[in-house]
Amino acid sequence: MVMLNSYERENRQLNDAVSSLRADKEALEASIYEAQQLLDQLQMRRDHLEAELSKVSAKRDALQIFDAHSISRLKCIYSPENADSAENGGILDTASLSVKRKDFIFIGKVGLAQYHCVRNGLLNMRN
Protein backbone atom coordinates (compact mmCIF):
# COMPACT_ATOMS: atom_id res chain seq x y z
CA MET A 1 0.00 0.00 0.00
CA VAL A 2 2.83 2.36 0.80
CA MET A 3 4.44 1.60 -2.55
CA LEU A 4 1.16 2.17 -4.35
CA ASN A 5 0.79 5.59 -2.73
CA SER A 6 4.35 6.41 -3.73
CA TYR A 7 3.68 5.43 -7.36
CA GLU A 8 0.42 7.37 -7.40
CA ARG A 9 2.20 10.45 -6.02
CA GLU A 10 4.98 10.10 -8.61
CA ASN A 11 2.37 9.59 -11.36
CA ARG A 12 0.55 12.79 -10.28
CA GLN A 13 3.82 14.71 -10.25
CA LEU A 14 4.68 13.43 -13.73
CA ASN A 15 1.19 14.31 -15.00
CA ASP A 16 1.56 17.81 -13.53
CA ALA A 17 4.96 18.14 -15.23
CA VAL A 18 3.47 16.99 -18.55
CA SER A 19 0.62 19.49 -18.19
CA SER A 20 3.09 22.26 -17.41
CA LEU A 21 5.22 21.30 -20.43
CA ARG A 22 2.13 21.26 -22.68
CA ALA A 23 1.19 24.75 -21.48
CA ASP A 24 4.75 25.96 -22.10
CA LYS A 25 4.68 24.37 -25.57
CA GLU A 26 1.40 26.13 -26.43
CA ALA A 27 2.78 29.46 -25.19
CA LEU A 28 5.92 28.98 -27.30
CA GLU A 29 3.85 28.07 -30.37
CA ALA A 30 1.74 31.22 -29.87
CA SER A 31 4.93 33.29 -29.58
CA ILE A 32 6.31 31.70 -32.75
CA TYR A 33 3.08 32.48 -34.59
CA GLU A 34 3.17 36.13 -33.43
CA ALA A 35 6.84 36.41 -34.40
CA GLN A 36 6.05 35.01 -37.86
CA GLN A 37 3.21 37.52 -38.27
CA LEU A 38 5.54 40.36 -37.26
CA LEU A 39 8.21 39.07 -39.64
CA ASP A 40 5.68 39.04 -42.50
CA GLN A 41 4.64 42.62 -41.68
CA LEU A 42 8.26 43.76 -41.54
CA GLN A 43 8.97 42.06 -44.86
CA MET A 44 6.04 43.89 -46.46
CA ARG A 45 7.23 47.18 -44.94
CA ARG A 46 10.77 46.57 -46.21
CA ASP A 47 9.47 45.85 -49.71
CA HIS A 48 7.40 49.05 -49.60
CA LEU A 49 10.39 51.10 -48.40
CA GLU A 50 12.63 49.61 -51.09
CA ALA A 51 10.06 50.63 -53.71
CA GLU A 52 9.89 54.14 -52.23
CA LEU A 53 13.68 54.33 -52.18
CA SER A 54 13.76 53.35 -55.82
CA LYS A 55 11.26 56.10 -56.68
CA VAL A 56 13.12 58.72 -54.67
CA SER A 57 16.45 57.67 -56.21
CA ALA A 58 14.96 57.99 -59.68
CA LYS A 59 13.60 61.44 -58.83
CA ARG A 60 16.95 62.47 -57.36
CA ASP A 61 18.77 61.26 -60.48
CA ALA A 62 16.31 63.10 -62.72
CA LEU A 63 16.73 66.25 -60.65
CA GLN A 64 20.52 65.99 -60.84
CA ILE A 65 20.33 65.59 -64.61
CA PHE A 66 17.90 68.51 -64.81
CA ASP A 67 20.17 70.65 -62.62
CA ALA A 68 23.25 69.78 -64.67
CA HIS A 69 21.38 70.58 -67.89
CA SER A 70 20.03 73.84 -66.44
CA ILE A 71 23.44 74.95 -65.23
CA SER A 72 25.09 74.23 -68.56
CA ARG A 73 22.23 75.99 -70.36
CA LEU A 74 22.51 79.03 -68.11
CA LYS A 75 26.26 79.13 -68.60
CA CYS A 76 25.66 79.10 -72.34
CA ILE A 77 22.98 81.80 -72.15
CA TYR A 78 24.95 84.10 -69.89
CA SER A 79 28.49 83.37 -71.04
CA PRO A 80 30.80 86.33 -71.71
CA GLU A 81 30.83 85.36 -75.39
CA ASN A 82 27.09 86.05 -75.59
CA ALA A 83 27.12 89.30 -73.61
CA ASP A 84 25.58 92.32 -75.26
CA SER A 85 28.49 94.73 -75.25
CA ALA A 86 30.21 97.05 -77.67
CA GLU A 87 33.44 95.09 -77.38
CA ASN A 88 32.10 91.90 -78.92
CA GLY A 89 29.96 93.53 -81.55
CA GLY A 90 26.63 93.32 -79.70
CA ILE A 91 25.85 89.63 -80.32
CA LEU A 92 22.55 89.80 -78.42
CA ASP A 93 19.90 92.38 -79.04
CA THR A 94 17.52 93.55 -76.32
CA ALA A 95 14.64 91.27 -77.43
CA SER A 96 16.73 88.09 -77.39
CA LEU A 97 18.25 89.05 -74.04
CA SER A 98 14.73 89.50 -72.65
CA VAL A 99 13.76 86.03 -73.93
CA LYS A 100 16.86 84.53 -72.36
CA ARG A 101 16.08 86.18 -69.04
CA LYS A 102 12.56 84.72 -69.14
CA ASP A 103 14.13 81.34 -69.93
CA PHE A 104 16.41 81.74 -66.92
CA ILE A 105 13.47 82.59 -64.65
CA PHE A 106 11.48 79.60 -65.98
CA ILE A 107 14.40 77.24 -65.39
CA GLY A 108 14.81 78.61 -61.89
CA LYS A 109 11.13 78.14 -61.04
CA VAL A 110 10.98 74.62 -62.46
CA GLY A 111 14.18 73.66 -60.69
CA LEU A 112 12.92 75.07 -57.40
CA ALA A 113 9.57 73.31 -57.79
CA GLN A 114 11.29 69.99 -58.46
CA TYR A 115 13.61 70.56 -55.53
CA HIS A 116 10.66 71.14 -53.20
CA CYS A 117 8.82 68.07 -54.54
CA VAL A 118 11.83 65.85 -53.92
CA ARG A 119 12.56 67.43 -50.53
CA ASN A 120 8.95 67.07 -49.40
CA GLY A 121 8.92 63.48 -50.60
CA LEU A 122 12.02 62.74 -48.54
CA LEU A 123 10.59 64.49 -45.50
CA ASN A 124 7.31 62.58 -45.82
CA MET A 125 9.19 59.28 -45.91
CA ARG A 126 10.86 60.09 -42.58
CA ASN A 127 7.50 60.52 -40.87
Q: What is the structure's pLDDT at 64? A: 75
Q: What is the structure's pLDDT at 61? A: 82
Band of pLDDT at residue 62, cut at 50, 70 and 90: confident
User: Whole-angstrom Cα distance, residue 102 to residue 22?
Assistant: 79
Expressed in angstroms, the distance from the first to the final Cα of the chain is: 73
What share of the chain has pLDDT > 70, as a percent?
50
The H or E element containing residue 52 is helix 2-77
Question: For residue 9, is pLDDT > 60?
Answer: yes
Predicted TM-score (pTM) of this structure: 0.44
User: Whole-angstrom Cα distance, residue 85 to residue 96?
Assistant: 14
Q: Say which DSSP state 92 is in.
A: S
Helix-helix angle 2-77:94-126, to 10 degrees: 170
Count of structural domains within the chain = 1
Residue 87 has φ and ψ, to the nearest 5°, of -65, -35
Question: What does each C-alpha distance from 98 to 15, 21, 72, 91, 95 come to in angstroms?
Answer: 96, 86, 19, 14, 5
- Structural domain of residue 18, as residue ranges? 2-126
